[in-house]
């Protein structure tokens, strides 16, 4: 292929020939002929030698690597290209890397001189910025002639699919509350007092006890006793993600859905390390989009994290009433629902849907994005006041959404771009300790 520079010089040489022809001057014509001969011979030789330039001229080896990495992990990779046959040439190699990856070390591009039999290696370290599915590669080789007039491109090898999952923060929490220890880790007996259904013992009544737990037949007017129950040894959790456009607020890589996914991943990590509880995933936009029943085990968590990594916005609305109703239909055992929704539309019959959910023994905790808090303050904000107005509008909307949810008895937490992890951790700790969020 003749590049832009090549065509430019050819046109210039032709113009020089025309000037020489107009002047009919031997000096001008010889200069123009020499220039044209110089350029044309280089192009002709290059195009003749590299006519069949292509991927079959090379051997490509990509270093082994993982299929999935967390957003706060680094990926060290390398690709080795060896010219199998053909003439040596000036080469430029570069590996195609997604835009959402930061280059931490090394270089994805190398200008060198390719010689047959001598391997050329690109080695670099990447860090993804945003969860999602990506392709790394293929590797490209550009051969150019000595004057930079012509080039040929070969695309080598296949792309590698890479899933960037939310960060694994649970492993690095530092000191965690006793409630988050597994029973074996904490040295506790397998049976604990709690709010389960299995009877454990009777004990004297205390003023903080729920009056409904008094064992009336065993009690006397002067000595009230209450029933104690075991805590459920295995609890079910369901992460519910609203994928509607209402969760699109915020900057790229840090919008309401991204923060919700990060918090959901934290919950899944906590559950994974407990070894007892089970967690599932339900995504919703204009109806249920995905449903992964609660489960555990490496395969289940891998599937769960992959789906969290690829959760993306979808068209349609997410009325909270229908969302709760659909979740209730799909759950068989008592489950704690962690619902991340913008609650743009509560939907008709929210109180009925929530009452049905409670009647089946489920509990729901609502996490509502404070969309005004997903945009950092900007210098122009004071000048135009448009952003200030928008923030006020959004705060009003959030207040109405929270009021609607709380009016039917839902426990609701607002969150912003700083994350929802602390709220999720609080709720999960409460559930592990008391069986519900107080």
Residue 66 burial (C-beta neighbours within 10 Å; 0-12, 13-18, 19+): exposed
Task: Please report, as residue ranges, which positions from 157 to 186 form the binding site for another protein (by CB under 8 A).
Answer: 167, 169, 172
Q: What contacts 75, CB < 8 A, 6 or more positions away?
A: 65, 66, 69, 125, 126, 127, 128, 162
Indicate the residue among 87 and 133 with the shorter CB distance to another protein.
87
Of 57, 58, 124, 305, the one binding another protein (CB under 8 A) is: 124
36 binds another protein (CB under 8 A): yes
Helices 350-359/320-330 angle, 10° precision: 20
Distance between CA atoms of residues 350 and 408, nearest Å:
7
Least distance (Å) between residue 5 CB and another protein: 4
8 binds another protein (CB under 8 A): yes
Cis peptide, bond prior to residue 138, ω within 30 of zero: yes
Residue 204 burial (C-beta neighbours within 10 Å; 0-12, 13-18, 19+): exposed
Indicate the residue among 90 and 273 with the shorter CB distance to another protein.
90
- Interface mask toward another protein for 43-82; x: CB under 8 A: xxx-xx--xx-x--------xxxx--x--xxxxxxx-x--
Of 60, 125, 310, 433, the one binding another protein (CB under 8 A) is: 125
Task: Please report, as residue ranges, which positions from 418 to 437 form the binding site for another protein (by CB under 8 A).
Answer: 418-419
Distance between CA atoms of residues 135 and 438, nearest Å:
45
Task: Please report, as residue ranges, which positions from 270 to 289 form the binding site for another protein (by CB under 8 A).
Answer: none
Indicate the residue among 2 and 310 with the shorter CB distance to another protein.
2
Of 67, 84, 111, 297, the one binding another protein (CB under 8 A) is: 111
387 binds another protein (CB under 8 A): no
CA pseudo-torsion sign 155, 161, 162, 165: positive
312 binds another protein (CB under 8 A): no
Of 55, 59, 60, 94, the one binding another protein (CB under 8 A) is: 94
85 binds another protein (CB under 8 A): no
CA dihedral 251, 256, 257, 262 (to 10 degrees): 100
- B/e letters for 330-349, b = 16+ CB within 10 Å, e = fewer, are ebeeebbbbbbbbbbbbbee
Indicate the residue among 111 and 388 with the shorter CB distance to another protein.
111
Indicate the residue among 82 and 436 with the shorter CB distance to another protein.
82
Distance between CA atoms of residues 250 and 160, nearest Å:
30
84 binds another protein (CB under 8 A): no
- Total residues contacting another protein by CB under 8 A comes to 106
Quick one: which segment of 1-9, 157-165, 178-186, 394-402 binds another protein (CB under 8 A)? 1-9
Indicate the residue among 29 and 59 with the shorter CB distance to another protein.
29
Indicate the residue among 93 and 366 with the shorter CB distance to another protein.
93
Asked if 273 contacts 374 with a C-beta cutoff of 8 angstroms, the reply is no
Distance between CA atoms of residues 383 and 156, nearest Å:
52
116 binds another protein (CB under 8 A): no
Of 150, 239, 243, 311, the one binding another protein (CB under 8 A) is: 150
Strand residue runs (E) in 266-401? 278-284, 288-295, 335-340, 363-369
For residue 258, CA distances in Å to 17, 74, 168, 309, 371 come to: 63, 20, 14, 9, 13
Indicate the residue among 40 and 310 with the shorter CB distance to another protein.
40
Indicate the residue among 249 and 323 with the shorter CB distance to another protein.
249
3 binds another protein (CB under 8 A): yes
């Amino acid at each position: 292929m003749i590049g832009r520079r090549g065509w430019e010089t050819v046109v210039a040489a032709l113009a020089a020939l025309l000037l020489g022809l107009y002047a009919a001057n031997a000096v001008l014509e010889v200069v123009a002929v020499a220039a044209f001969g110089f350029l044309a011979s280089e192009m002709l030789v290059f195009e003749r030698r590299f006519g069949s330039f292509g991927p079959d001229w090379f051997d490509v080896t990509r270093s082994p690597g993982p299929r999935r990495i967390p957003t706060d992990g680094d990926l060290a990779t390398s690709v080795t290209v060896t010219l199998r046959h053909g003439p040596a040439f000036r080469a430029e190699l570069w590996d195609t890397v997604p835009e959402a990856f930061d280059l931490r070390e090394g270089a994805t591009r190398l200008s060198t001189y390719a010689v047959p039999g001598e391997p050329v290696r690109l080695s670099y370290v990447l860090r993804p910025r945003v969860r999602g599915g990506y392709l790394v590669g293929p590797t490209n080789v550009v051969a150019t002639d000595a004057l930079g007039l012509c080039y040929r491109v070969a695309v080598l090898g296949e792309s590698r699919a890479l899933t960037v999952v939310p960060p694994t923060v649970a492993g690095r929490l530092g000191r965690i509350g006793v409630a988050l220890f597994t029973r074996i880790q904490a040295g506790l007996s397998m049976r604990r007092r709690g709010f389960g259904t299995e009877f454990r013992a009777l004990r004297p009544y205390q003023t903080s006890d729920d009056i409904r737990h008094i064992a009336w037949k065993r009690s006397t007017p002067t000595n009230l006793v209450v029933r104690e129950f075991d805590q459920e040894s295995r609890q079910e959790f369901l992460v519910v993600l609203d994928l509607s456009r209402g969760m699109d607020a915020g900057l790229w890589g840090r919008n309401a859905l991204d923060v919700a996914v990060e918090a959901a991943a934290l919950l899944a990590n906590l559950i994974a390390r407990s070894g007892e509880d089970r967690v599932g995933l339900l995504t919703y936009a204009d109806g249920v989009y995905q449903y992964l029943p609660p489960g555990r085990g490496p395969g289940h968590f891998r599937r769960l994290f992959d789906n969290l990594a690829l959760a993306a916005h979808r068209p349609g609305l997410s009325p909270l009433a229908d969302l709760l109703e659909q979740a209730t239909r799909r759950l068989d055992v008592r489950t704690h629902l962690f619902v991340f929704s913008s609650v743009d539309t509560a939907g008709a019959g929210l109180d009925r849907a929530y009452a049905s959910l409670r009647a089946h023994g489920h509990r729901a905790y609502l996490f509502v994005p404070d969309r005004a808090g997903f945009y950092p303050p900007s210098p122009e904000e004071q000048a135009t006041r448009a952003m200030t107005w928008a923030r006020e509008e959004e705060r009003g909307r959030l207040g109405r959404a929270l009021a609607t949810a709380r009016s039917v008895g839902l426990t609701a937490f607002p969150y912003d771009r700083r994350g929802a992890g602390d709220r999720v951790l609080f709720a999960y700790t409460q559930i592990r300790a008391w069986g519900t969020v107080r």
